[in-house]
Chain A
Amino acid sequence: MIVRISGEDQYELPEQDAAKLNELEQTVIDIVRGGHQDGFSDAYGKLLDYVRSHGTLIEDDDIRSSDVILPPTDITFAEAGVEFTGEGIIPD
């Protein structure tokens, strides 16, 4: 599974990490829906950190399409309200 962090890099993660990613994203979605601005960047940071620490970096000259594209690190709470509205970043 290839995950892109928008504005940064692409990472390759094992398929079984999808469940963990969805769990972390669910936390972000809940926070956004609840309007809890304070906890947002922390929760979203955790999701990004998981990708960075568990994924293998894909080199710049390696051309791969991503299965998942995550919004940039500096996404604002207002922007997140638009992005994190669906059922999850990993398609069923």
Chain B
Amino acid sequence: MAGLGGRMSTVVKAKVSKLLDRAEDPGETLDYSYQKQVEQLQNVKKGIADVVTAKKRLQMQETSLQQSVVKLDTQARQALAAGNEDLSRTALERKNVAQTELQGLDTQVAELEEQQQKLTDSEQKLRAKIEAFRTKKEVIKAQYSAAEAQVRISEAATGVGEQMADVGLAMQRAVDKTENMKARADAVSELEAAGTFDDITQLGSGEDDIDRQLKQLSSQPAVDDELAKMKAELGGPAGAAQIAAPAGAAPAEPAEGSGEAAPDSEQS
């Protein structure tokens, strides 16, 4: 027998027969097997809890990124209205990066959701098998001679062991997937720590490293398009400089930090 199946059931069978070799009293073997099965079921529950934790972490990052997207969009509009096109562009670039990360997170949350569902299904199947084993062991203990019982225990324990191995495999796959996702979650955290999604009001006047990196990261045409669209919404192609001049005409309050850039518009 090739592949996974062969290896898996061979291991299960080997373990079970080792267990049976050691046992002198079939009744004890049955109780011991059952106890082990219940312990394994607890491990499966822990595994599901880990997947849920990983999912929650990603969902929290999603919420935080969504807030950044809204905030940066607002600030881009405010900056443009105040005539500071550069600042507006920076905000849009940051928004662009946040949106890209957000899409990645969406996919991963959906994938984790799927893993969680699969593990929950597996856990239910294992629980049903263990419950059946519990009933069966009482029957075996009551009705069979030691020699006969040995054979029947072997069958039942192998069957449950196989289910257990299957759940174990599903868990391993889920763990592998969450490991991959941790890498992305960490990457988003790093971007956050580097101030990538920060308020643009916290920007100094000069262009820093983050901005230069951002320009490489974000897709320039998307930012250009969005900027053009915003300009159009704010009053046609006349340009930011002209809109900015009568600052009172713009209903939106300029972002606080753009005060540093504001002297520009007041001079014009």
Contact B170 A66 (CB under 8 A): no
Between A and B, 24 residue pairs with Cβ closer than 8 Å are A4-B166, A6-B169, A6-B170, A7-B173, A60-B125, A60-B128, A60-B129, A61-B128, A61-B132, A62-B132, A63-B136, A63-B156, A63-B160, A69-B8, A71-B4, A72-B169, A83-B2, A83-B4, A84-B3, A85-B3, A86-B2, A89-B2, A89-B3, A91-B6
| Interface residue ranges of A43-73 to B (CB < 8 Å) | 59-66, 68-72
User: How many angstroms from the CA of A9 to the CA of B128 in the assembled complex?
Assistant: 13
18 additional contacts, CB 8 Å, given A4-B166, A63-B132, A69-B6? Answer: A6-B166, A6-B170, A7-B169, A60-B125, A60-B128, A61-B131, A63-B129, A63-B155, A65-B159, A65-B162, A69-B5, A70-B5, A71-B3, A85-B2, A86-B6, A89-B3, A89-B5, A91-B1
Contact A89 B158 (CB under 8 A): no
Partner of A61, one of B6, B129, B158, B166: B129
Contact A63 B5 (CB under 8 A): no
Contact A89 B1 (CB under 8 A): yes
Partner of B4, one of A9, A60, A69, A74: A69
**Interface size of A as a range:** 20 to 34
Most buried by B among A63, A64, A84, A88: A63
Q: Chain A residues in contact with chain B, CB under 8 A?
A: 4, 6-7, 9, 59-66, 68-72, 74, 82-91
* Contacts between the two chains (Cβ within 8 Å), count: 82
**Interface size of B as a range:** 20 to 34
Contact of B99 with A by CB under 8 A: no
Q: Chain B residues in contact with chain A, CB under 8 A?
A: 1-6, 8-9, 13, 118, 122, 124-125, 128-129, 131-133, 136, 155-156, 158-160, 162, 166, 169-170, 173
On chain A, the residues within 8 Å of B155 by CB distance are: 63, 65
